[in-house]
Amino acid sequence: MIKFKCRPALHTKMVIEYCDSKGISVPDHYQHIRFLADDDKINYYTVNNILHDMEVLDNNPYFFFELEHVFRERLIPFTIKILDFNKSAALNLLDFTHYYSSISDLAWSSIVTATSVTLVAARGSEQRASKYDDLFIYFCMIEIFKPLLNNPDDMLICLPYGRDFYSKYINVFEQVKFNHGCFSVTINKDEGDKDSGECLAVANINELDRVGAAANSIPSHSLSLFTLAQLMNVAPRSLQRELKLLDSKPQNIIDNVKVNYIISRLGINKGNIKLTAYECGFTDMPTFSRFFTRTTGLSPKAYVKARMMIS
């Protein structure tokens, strides 16, 4: 069975966009992520790693505070589209929990009682990943759900660790409880709320999605069966066998990721084929042309002319 924890690329892209706006240099191994779609899956831990790296490079005690404007512009629209404003804040929290649990490998669950709905995010020992995840969820709760409340006291947020764990970000939090053991958000139901037991209908992450997420996490010029298997912590032959059972091959996934990156670069380069081939790690044009033609069914020149309206 294929196991690889993943989440949408959006969260990492937001951090990259923040760094761009501040003139902070983003390490090369993150650069390719900016060209992915927001809902493309990548390694679950990438956003935590880049946040840690950027915080160290930025040397700014208010690093996470300054990310807030990027969250408002990018994360909130991504999330708010799943809300139903005919529902109460409590029932929307139930949908929110279900939605994010289905697009990310989050250890989330819901507790529904006659009077409230609670999002519970399991936590283990103190880790930097937990710090950033807690800040993310807290920000979403305040930005998305607090305005939906009839009474501000209808929401209670509990943090898993003590004040020292959140150190310089402690002033972000208002009216929370610390040392709770897990992250939880409880919202009181409105009068007349009835939980039908039905949540927002979304598809779960399948095994092919997980392999694709691993491939998306590796820079295109470094992507191969070996690097893909290495990231997934499996032997190359084991990965081939697992994908064969799913009627797929590693090379198909690798080629798909690479050609999508090429297409993104072609758009940015306004159809400049030679520049794009060079940026994508190809050392000669015939090899690039053969790969592109085999993967898309069109030569690079024909693709640019047909799809990009460039004569």
Distance CA 33, CA 27 (A): 11
Helix (H, G, I), strand (E, B) or coil at 6: strand
Comparing CA positions, the residue from 213, 179, 184, 181 lying closest to residue 12 is 213
Q: According to the model, what pLDDT value does residue 79 have?
A: 87
Closest by CA position to 187, among listed 97, 105, 72, 103: 97
Predicted local confidence at residue 132, as pLDDT: 84
Q: pTM of this prediction?
A: 0.86
Task: Give the model's pLDDT for residue 258.
Answer: 95
Q: Is residue 91 within 8 Å of 195, Cβ to Cβ?
A: yes
**pLDDT at position 311:** 43
Q: What does pLDDT average to in each consecutive run of 10 residues of the chain (311 residues)?
A: 93 91 88 94 93 77 76 87 90 92 91 94 82 89 92 95 89 91 95 66 83 96 95 96 95 95 93 93 93 95 81 43
Nearest to 248 by CA among 206, 293, 204: 206
H-state helical runs in 59-179: 63-66, 68-70, 76-80, 89-103, 128-140, 163-166
